[in-house]
Structure 1
Amino acid sequence: MSHAVSALRAARLAIATKPFSARGGFKQERCEGCRLLPSHCLCALRTPVPTRAAVCLLMADIEPLKPTNTGWLIADLVADTFAFGWSRTQPDPALLALLRDPAWEPYVVFPGQYAAPERVVHTVAPCATGPGGKSRRPLFVLLDGTWSEARKMFSRSPYLNALPVLSLAPDAASQYRLRRSRCDDHLCTSEVAARCLHLVGDEVAGTVLDAYLGVFTHHYLQARNQLPVAWDGAAHRRFHDAMARQAATAR
């Protein structure tokens, strides 16, 4: 099943001048659907969940190529996920059209201390009212890259300047263990998306996304260490419990 991030990855590979090699990862063949070794494939667990909100990923240059990227996990589960490569001077026209679309109420998700106070918000309504009384669904714009890349995207993207900035207060430390971060309070992209979903009432979807990150992390680390997947382990139990809650909610 293709989605926005896999399509962006394919487009980025098509213009690459040399093969991309992930640092610290395994060098064997990977599944095209989940970027893991075929022996540790995650694709059978990928099940989209309904959400009120949508996610727009603005991705740094090689971010879609990294097998540890968690924006991919968001696109696996949230059907309304959009993904664009970042450019300061030549933004994708489809991105600009999306941000202007009256069906959406876009928010840039970023720490409030980096924005003018009048732009910063801490809460989001599940649906806003737009022109003509039509409802507008939340669209969370996530800057997907390293912390230095994200700061550059935030400060050098004039087409984002008119949007409100949603500033989150993380209620727990990041559980992401596939890349190092200089700051313990920095969340990975899928963790940010999960908190955004909780904020607008998509609590079950947010819980499923957090659990899916746990399963992906387990599969990735087991493959890296040449160990089998613990299909009955804690990560899978948490994921299946979250999916059971999702199924019960949908009835």
Structure 2
Amino acid sequence: MPAAEWPHAVSRLRSARLARSSKPFLARGGPRGERCAGCRLVPSHCLCALRPVVPTRAGVCLLMADIEPLKPSNTGWLVADVVADTFAFGWARTEVDPALLALLADPQWQPVLVFPGEFVASERVVTELPPTDDKPARRPLFVLLDATWPEARKMFRKSPYLNHLPVLSLQPDQLSHYKLRRSRRDDHFCTSEVAALCLDLAGEPLAAQTLEAYLEVFTRHYLQAKNQLPVDLADAAHQRLRDLQGLRG
């Protein structure tokens, strides 16, 4: 079992959100809507045995829109699977979780908010991790707004407790490959794609590549389950994930 606890932060947030619901959340698919608690897929297409283990120095803080933890297609869950130090908090306009404020103030972390620089005052924007004079150096903590693009823009505007953070504006040279929910723009990335870019920037290429491969495998399982088709465990996506796991050392 990896250093990450199970259930991880996104799973715990999902459970808390379900507990507050006035009516049950019903995800489609599977017998009577049954889904695996570990990967949210229908049992016939369970992904749990393929969950990768990659030690990382960086951490990820997911600030999640209200129903994101409930969506089977949410990829913040995959980030929490791969990155042991993933923290997840629900977002609300009128209140903030004290644990989130404590995390952002924790001296072991160097938090940066990840958001497109075109929407931010230029003096806050950075394109690489800010240098630190601390010894030992603080660990990078990437704060990601896990939401649809309209929701993320609202969260950015209405979260004054994030205003002191530098804003990391990523400059990716590829288009999004996410196929489960579509943005109108191909340069809008899903949460796990953004996290992979951040890990690469933090000097953790194996973790970045593993998260990319894990997203591809998750997508295959999700779409095959949706179409009631079997998964080919020997295809190129699964082999790439296995090869990356073999590189751990």
TM-score by length of 1: 0.93
1:111 aligns with 2:113: no
Q: Which of 84, 92, 114 does residue 97 from structure 2 map onto? A: 92
Q: CA RMSD in A?
A: 1.2
Report the counterpart of residue 15 of structure 1 in structure 2.
20
1:32-70 C-alpha deviation (Å, 9 max, x unpaired): 000001111000111331112100000000000000000
Residue 58 of structure 1 aligns with which residue? 63
Partner of 1:183: 185
The amino acid of 1:74's aligned partner reads V
The 10-residue stretch of structure 1 (39-48 or 138-147) with the greater mean CA deviation from structure 2: 39-48
2:133 is matched with which residue: 129, 134, 141?
A: 129
Residue 241 of structure 1 corresponds to which residue in structure 2? Answer: 243
Q: Which residue does 1:82 correspond to in 2?
A: 87
Amino acid at match of 2:163: N
CA shift, 1:235, in A, is 1.2
Match of 1:70 in 2: 75
1:26 aligned residue: 29
Distance 2:15 2:221 in 1: 23
For residues 154-169 of structure 1, the aligned pairs below 5 Å read 154-169=156-171
Runs of 4+ in 1 over 6 A off after TM superposition: none
Post-superposition shift, 1:121? 0.2
Contact 2:89–2:97, Cα closer than 8 Å, also in 1: yes
Q: Counterparts of 1:171 and 1:242 in 2: how far apart (Å)?
A: 22
Structure 1: which amino acid aligns with 2:60?
A: V
Tell me the CA shift for residue 134 of structure 1. Answer: 4.1
2:203 aligned to 198, 201, 224, which one? 201
Q: Is the 8 A contact 1:54 1:138 kept in 2?
A: yes
Offset of residue 238 of structure 1? 1.4
1:135 CA displacement: 2.0
8 Å contact from structure 1 (residues 33, 43) kept in 2: yes
**2:231 is equivalent to residue 229 of structure 1:** yes
Deviations 1:130-170 (A, max 9, x none): 4xx44210000000010000001111100000000000012
| Unaligned ranges ≥5, structure 2 | 1-5
Counterpart contact for 2:53–2:245, Cα < 8 Å: no
Provide the rounded CA distance (Å) in 1 between the counterparts of 2:92 and 2:53: 29
Aligned partners of 2:133 and 2:38: how far apart in 1?
37
In the alignment, the residues of structure 1 paired with residue 18 and residue 218 of structure 2 have an alpha-carbon distance, to the nearest angstrom, of 23
Counterparts of 1:88 and 1:243 in 2: how far apart (Å)?
40
Which has the higher mean CA deviation after the structures are superposed, 48-57 or 91-100?
48-57
CA distance in 1, matches of 2:137, 2:175: 34
Question: Equivalents in 2 of 1:86, 1:112: separation in Å?
Answer: 21
Amino acid at match of 1:156: K
Distance 1:83 1:5 in 2: 6
Tell whether the 8 Å contact from 1:128 to 1:138 is kept in structure 2 after alignment. Answer: no
- For 1:90, give the aligned amino acid: E
Q: C-alpha deviations, 1:9-44, integer Å up to 9, x for none?
A: 00000000112234xx42531000000011110001
**C-alpha separation between the residues in 2 aligned to 1:152 and 1:61?**
13
Question: Which residue identity does 1:161 align to in structure 2?
Answer: N
Q: Give the C-alpha shift of residue 241 in structure 1.
A: 1.7
Do 1:128 and 1:137's aligned partners in 2 also have CA atoms closer than 8 Å?
Answer: no
SS of match in other structure, 1:128: coil
